[in-house]
């Protein structure tokens, strides 16, 4: 695998750290800025909003630029957002800085996926994407706990300064490791990128992302009360258990990359089916501590097996102009975050029990599987006329040869 993938992974590590670390620092931020914890929680939403808006917007605006320069520019914007977060004089300024930090998130992963697949051999494209996302999953194991401890001991502002340093390392890595000749501006340009979003298969692929990862976030958003109220873990053990989720996500990401290079559709169908099974078993697995820990690992593994094939499916359906489509996939991921948490919350509020969000996630996983199967059927039907034209052309050529 090209060493340039390391530069993409470093950027992904920084992005993953800044996205999730704020959740562990909300009490410190709320106390320092004299706001309530629910008000401080809007900082999470501001980042997600930045991702949803920034992913298609920045991918569109940079459609004619060389991708290496785009990646470096996005990381510079990432550094600016986190530096402003560190020096924000008040809550409103921090809210705006978090929104700014989220803007480059989706576009970086979208453009980075295009660069990663362009650098890899044809039979290793999914593996290349999974290695880029390795930075994101490792951030949940190492980056977020370390940054949280830094914020708790040296103040929450030091965390964002530390993340900015990671951004600087990513810029240096991108500048020296990503080659110029493999990342030139796409020929399709802005019009071609926008035309990609008029394709039904692209929207079916994005719908699969929303439903499939919505299933994950329906359960994961409420994993803490499941572990404490159902499995009997102490609050102090939750951080370690969430690191186990990162371990499972890392394993699933690497496994999905390898399997998707052999069968993209098979890996996607198998991953969504496995996710539905794991979520259906959650009420039983959350009855003892060791099975609850196992459930957390299995959840991360089953969910992230689908990350590489989902992104590759979007890029495949928009093969002439994949940057905008793959960036839109990151926006779809964040919509899944918000929508899945909302649906899981409805199940919890209805009084169906502390593990009911996982059961609600089963329905979303099956919905994602249904959308993925629909996309497969549409592809097969669209391929039939193409084969008929090939056969007709071949027959016509044979007839002309006989006549001559």
Shared domain for 291 and 150, answered yes or no, is: no
Phi-psi region of 120 (alpha: psi -120 to 50; beta: other; left: phi over 0): beta
Q: What are phi and psi of 204, to 5 degrees?
A: -65, -40
Burial call 322-355: b when 16+ CB within 10 Å, e when fewer: bbbbbbbbbbbbbbbbbbbbebbeebbeeeebbb
Closest by alpha carbon to 266, among 216, 311, 213, 305? 305
pLDDT for 397: 56
Flag whether pLDDT at 186 surpasses 80.
no
Q: Rounded to 5 degrees, what are φ and ψ at 84?
A: -65, -35
Using CA atoms, how far apart are residues 178 and 5, in angstroms rounded to an integer? Answer: 8
Instruction: Dump pLDDT digits (tens) for 322-350.
Output: 777 777 888 888 788 878 888 888 888 88
Domain that holds residue 374: 200-404
Looking at the fold, whether 147 and 39 belong to one and the same domain comes out as yes
H or E element in which residue 140 lies: none
My answer on whether 59 and 97 are in the same domain is yes
Last residue of a domain, one of 185, 215, 243: 185
**Domain check: are 148 and 222 in the same one?**
no
CATH code of residue 236? 1.20.1250.20
Residues 232-279 have pLDDT tens digits of: 888 778 778 878 888 998 899 889 888 988 888 899 999 999 999 999
Q: pLDDT digits over 344-403, tens only?
A: 888 888 888 889 999 999 999 999 999 999 988 888 887 655 444 444 454 445 555 555
Pair 163, 271 in one domain: no
Asked if the structure places residue 67 within a domain, the reply is yes
Taking the whole predicted model, whether its pTM rises above 0.85 is answered as no
What are the angstrom distances between the C-alpha of 363 and each of 77, 266, 275, 340, 349? 38, 20, 11, 11, 17
What pLDDT was estimated at residue 283?
Answer: 93
Q: Are residues 234 and 296 in the same domain?
A: yes
Q: Give Cα 117 distance to the centre of its chain.
A: 16
- So what's the pLDDT on residue 185? 52
Q: How far is CA 53 from the centre of its chain?
A: 15
Q: What is the pLDDT of residue 390?
A: 46
Six-digit token pair at 223?
A: 């994993």
Asked if residue 69 is part of any domain, the answer here is: yes
What are the φ and ψ backbone dihedral angles of 322, each rounded to 5 degrees?
Answer: -85, -15
% of the chain beyond a pLDDT of 90:
33
Q: Which two tokens stand for residue 361?
A: 């996630």
Q: Return the closest-CA partner of residue 193 out of 85, 47, 320.
A: 320
Range scoring the smallest mean pLDDT among 188-202, 281-295, 297-311, 389-403 = 389-403
Residue 190 lies in a domain: no
Residue 388, pLDDT score: 46
pLDDT tens profile 36-56: 877 777 887 788 888 888 888
Q: Given a cut of 90, is residue 133 above it in pLDDT?
A: no
> If you compute the radius of gyration of the chain from its CA atoms, what whole number of angstroms results?
22
Sign of the alpha-carbon torsion through 283, 303, 292, 137:
negative
Residues comprising the chain, all counted: 404
Domain assignment of residue 192, yes or no: no
pLDDT reading at 169 higher than 90: yes
Please give the tally of structural domains in the chain.
2
The neighbour count for residue 11, using CB atoms within 10 Å, is 29
**Same-domain status, 179 and 213:** no
CA atoms within 13 A on the CB side of 61: 13
In a domain, 100, yes or no: yes
Contact at 8 Å (CB) between 230 and 354? yes
Quote the CA–CA distance of 356 and 6 in Å, as a whole number: 40
Query: Which has more pLDDT, 111 or 180?
Result: 111
Dihedral in degrees, nearest 10, Cα atoms 303, 215, 338, 305: 10
pLDDT, average across residues 77-98: 94
User: Would 193 be classed as within a structural domain?
Assistant: no
Q: Are residues 7 and 145 in the same domain?
A: yes
pLDDT value, residue 387: 47
Same domain, 162 and 217: no
Q: Are residues 10 and 145 in the same domain?
A: yes
Average model confidence (pLDDT) for the chain?
A: 84
Place of tokens 């501001």: 46
Tell whether the model's pLDDT for residue 321 goes beyond 70. no
- 329 found inside a domain: yes
Same structural domain for residues 19 and 143? yes
* 154: helix, strand or coil: helix
Q: Among residues 212, 197, 223, 203, which one has the least CA distance to residue 339?
A: 212
Final residue in a domain of this structure, among 162, 185, 208: 185
The pLDDT of residue 153 is 85
> Is 287 a member of any domain?
yes
Are 109 and 44 contained in the same domain?
Answer: yes
Question: What is the spatial distance between Cα 373 and Cα 99, in angstroms, rounded to a whole number?
Answer: 35
């Amino acid at each position: 695998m090209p060493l340039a993938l390391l530069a993409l992974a470093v950027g992904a590590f920084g992005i993953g750290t800044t996205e999730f670390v704020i959740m562990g620092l909300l009490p410190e931020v709320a106390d320092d800025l004299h706001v309530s914890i629910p008000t401080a929680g809007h900082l999470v939403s501001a980042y997600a909003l930045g991702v949803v808006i920034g992913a298609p917007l920045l991918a569109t605006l940079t459609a004619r630029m060389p991708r290496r320069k785009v990646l470096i520019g996005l990381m510079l914007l990432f550094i600016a957002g986190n530096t402003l977060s560190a020096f924000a004089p008040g809550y409103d300024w921090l809210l705006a800085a978090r929104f700014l930090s989220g803007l480059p998130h989706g576009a970086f992963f979208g453009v980075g996926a295009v660069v990663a697949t362009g650098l890899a051999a044809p039979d290793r494209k999914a593996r290349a994407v999974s290695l880029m996302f390795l930075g994101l999953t490792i951030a949940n194991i190492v980056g977020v706990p370390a940054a949280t401890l830094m914020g708790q001991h040296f103040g929450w502002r030091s965390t964002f300064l530390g993340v900015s340093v990671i951004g600087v390392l990513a810029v240096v890595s991108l500048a020296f490791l990503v080659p110029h000749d493999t990342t030139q501006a796409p020929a399709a340009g802005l019009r071609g990128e926008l035309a990609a979003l008029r394709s039904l298969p692209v929207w079916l692929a994005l719908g699969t992302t929303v439903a499939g990862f919505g299933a994950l976030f329906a359960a994961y958003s409420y994993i803490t009360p499941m572990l404490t109220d159902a499995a009997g873990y102490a609050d102090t053990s939750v951080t370690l258990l969430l690191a186990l989720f990162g371990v499972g996500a890392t394993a699933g990401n690497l496994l999905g990359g390898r399997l998707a290079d052999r069968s993209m559709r098979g890996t996607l169908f198998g991953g969504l089916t496995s996710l539905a099974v794991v979520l259906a078993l959650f009420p039983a697995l959350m009855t003892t501590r060791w099975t609850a820990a196992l459930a957390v690992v299995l959840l991360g593994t089953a969910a992230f097996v689908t990350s590489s094939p989902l992104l590759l499916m979007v890029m495949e359906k928009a093969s002439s102009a994949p940057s905008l489509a793959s960036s839109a996939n990151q926006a779809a991921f964040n919509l899944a975050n918000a929508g899945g948490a909302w649906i899981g919350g409805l199940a919890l509020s209805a009084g169906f029990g502390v593990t009911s969000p996982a059961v609600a996630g089963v329905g979303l996983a099956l919905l994602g599987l249904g959308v993925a199967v629909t996309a497969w059927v549409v592809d097969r039907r669209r391929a039939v006329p193409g084969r008929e034209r090939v056969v007709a052309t071949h027959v016509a050529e044979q007839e002309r040869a006989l006549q001559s």
